[in-house]
Chains A and B, each alone.
Chain A
Amino acid sequence: MMKGFEYFTTQKDELLAWARKFSIFPYPFVTACCGMEFMSVASTLYDTDRFGAALPRFSPRQSDLLMVVGTVSHKQAPIVKKIYDQMCSPKWVIAFGACAVSGGVYQNYATLKGLDKIIPVDVYIPGCPPRPETVIDAIIKLQSKIETGVSKNV
């Protein structure tokens, strides 16, 4: 009896990681045209529901994946930071599209040169906009990161 209990207590983290992996609640912070591609990934044709990541929560308190979809300007940056701070741990961040990854084509004074300048990012998705296949690749990568438990944000 005691042995079995000990086994379960050692496996607790694995069990939690497995449960978290298939219940990602994304918060889409959509600022630009990449949002169309986000909708396309969530639609029937590609269907992120297969990975348990389809139900968007429009409140940072209820979500555990911040998807920053599109250009982040310097005016928008404090808002993203605030939303990130409002999310409950454990939380993960995806930079979606070239603009969120590095500023993309906007090499000017108004655009933040990459989301990782303000908050830690787990998975970077390049592309302008990224194809739904690329986004699914990123979700699979994030799932393996959640499962192995190595996340710099927890």
Chain B
Amino acid sequence: MKRKEYWNQKEMSYWEKLYYLEIARGLWVTFSVFIKNLYKWCTGKKGALTVYYPEERRSDYASNFRGKHKLTILENGRPKCIACKMCENICPSKSIKIVAGKSPDEKDSYSLKIPLSFDLDYASCIFCGHCVEICPKDAIIMTNDVSELPTYAREKLLYSLSDLLESKKDA
């Protein structure tokens, strides 16, 4: 027997040496999948794996998926945030800017400090979730929604308190 040129050199059979046949066999695999998918598509079934995104959304997001932020609210509709600025300090990309102010009610039982403005800059946010973990009042949460994030202008990525606050009906 002839000595092998390298240790795992393959010994090919006669049919494999006639490589045109092998090419045809390989293409047949591709083509049969195409025909199968086409048949499914014609009969109205979903053939390919593709998620037809704007019309169809994936449902298998992880339960701890980190998407857009929401500021949660109390029953009376005011934000739960007490403007402690823990999230502002932990944020690795310095995306959060909070301006704290006094609560209009002098004897507020929940908190005497309220956020006057709460700006979150999605231009630099890296969706790490540290702000959510650190928050002592669970005032900031992350939803599994990522829609409508891209913009034509960088300034539009700065979300203010009113953009982030969850509406009454989701609470």
Contact = CB atoms under 8 A, between A and B. Distances in A.
Interface of A: 44-47, 50, 98, 101-105, 107, 114, 116, 121-128, 130-138, 140-141, 145
Interface residues of B, number: 31
A101 B154 contact: yes
A47 B124 CA distance: 27
Contacts, number: 96
B94 interface: yes
A107 B93 contact: yes
A11 B49 CA distance: 38
Contacts of A121: 154
Given A50-B52, A133-B57, A126 B122 contact: yes
Contact of B50 (A50, A104, A138, A140): A50
Given A50-B50, A133-B57, A141 B150 contact: yes
Contacts of B128: 128
Contacts of A141: 150-152
Contact of A133 (B121, B126, B147): B147
A119 B3 CA distance: 60
B47 to A, nearest CB: 11
B48 interface: yes
Contacts of A44: 48-50
A123 B50 contact: no
Contacts of B150: 123-126, 130, 134-135, 137-138, 141
B149 A127 contact: yes
B54 interface: yes
A134 B124 contact: no
A64 to B, nearest CB: 18
A101 B126 contact: no
Contacts of B149: 125-127, 130, 134, 137
B50 A107 contact: no
B42 interface: no
B152 A105 contact: no
A136 B57 CA distance: 12
A50 B57 CA distance: 15
Contacts of B98: none
10 contacts: A46-B50, A46-B51, A98-B93, A98-B124, A105-B124, A116-B154, A125-B150, A127-B122, A131-B67, A134-B146
A103 to B, nearest CB: 7
B151 A123 contact: yes
Nearest to B152: A123
A132 B124 CA distance: 18
